[in-house]
Structure 1
Amino acid sequence: MTQDELLVLIYKKDERAFTHLYDMYSKSLFSVINVLVRNREEAEDVLQEVFVKIWKNIDSYHESKGRFYTWILNIARNTSIDKLRSKNFNNSQKNLSSDNFVHLLDDSNKLVNKVDTIGIQEFVKRLKPKCIQIIDLLFFKGYTQQEASDELEIPLGTVKTHNRNCINDLRNYLKV
C-alpha cells in the first residue's frame, strides 16, 4: 500500500488503515520517541498516544504544507517533549537508581547512528557551527527555544532567527 492510498483510507477512518499506518511508521517513530524519553515503557505509551493523535487529527494534515512523515514525526517529537515536561514523568524520574543512567552515553551514540542511517547527519554537518548547535538543542535534545536561548546565552529572538535560517539551509541541502 502506498502512502497516498493509506492517506485516503485514514481520511475515511477505515480501520484497516490504522494497522497499515502502524506497520509503516511505528519503528521509526518509536526510535525518535525512545531517544527523547529514554524510558522504554514510557516511550511505548507515548507511541500509542502519537498514533491516536495522528488518527484523530488527520484532518489537520495538508500535503501542501509538507510531507506526511514530517507531520507525524513532529507529532511524535512534540508528544515526547510534552511527556518529558509533565509533572508525573518528572516525579517518576527522581526515584530512578543510578544504574538507569549508565546507558545514557550509549543512547546518545545510538542517536548519532540513527541520524546517520537516515542520512541527515551528513547534511547537518554542512551547516554553520551555530546551526549545528541550535538544531542539536531544539530537535535532537528537545529543548524549547527559550531553553536554547538560556543554554547558548543569546537572545530568544536570535535563536528563533537562527533556527528559521538553519532549517532553510538544511532544506536547501536536502533538495540537492
Structure 2
Amino acid sequence: MSVKVNIENLVQELQNGEEQALATIYDMYADALYGLILKIVKDDGLAQDILQDCFVKIWQKAQTYDASKGSFFTWMLNVCRNKSIDELRKVDRHRKGKDEIGHATDYQKQGIERNIDTIGLKDIVDDLPDDQKLIVEYLYFKGYTQQETSDELNIPLGTVKSRSRMAIKALKDSFVIVLLIWIQKNI
C-alpha cells in the first residue's frame, strides 16, 4: 500500500525549513531531475554533481517558489535546467580555452610560429602601439583566451577586447599594403 503525499504540504514544510521534507522531495524527484540534467550535460559524474548542487539550491531558495507561476516540479525542473546549462557553458569555455592553447602548442611543434617572420608578420606587429602589441602576443602568439589575457595582464576584459579590435584593424590595413607590394613584386 503506497502512501499518497500532498505536495502542497510538503512544499510548505520545505519552506518552513524542515529537512525531512527535502529528503522526501529528493526521494520523489531525484531520478526525474537527474534524467533531465544528464540529457543536457551528457556526463554522469557532472550530472550527479549538478543534481546535488540543485538540491542545495532548492533547499536555500524554497521561499522563492510561487505556486501561482507553476507547479513545484516545474520550478525544480527550471532550477536544474538553468544550473545544467550554466555548468555546460563553464565546461565549454574551459575546454575552448584549453583547445586554443593546445592549438598554439601544435603550431609551435610544427614550427609554424617561427614562420611568421617569413611573411613579415612580426615586423607588422612590432609597428603596433605597445599596448596593442602585447594583446596580440598573448592572444595570437601565446594562444591565450581574452579572459586569460585579462587575468594575466590584470586589465579589464573590455580593454583586452578593445585593444584586440584596434590591433586587428591596424594589422588588416597593414596586410593590404604588404599584399599589394608582394603582388607587384611577383607579377
Normalised TM-score (structure 1)? 0.50
Normalised TM-score (structure 2)? 0.47
Q: Which has the larger radius of gyration?
A: 2
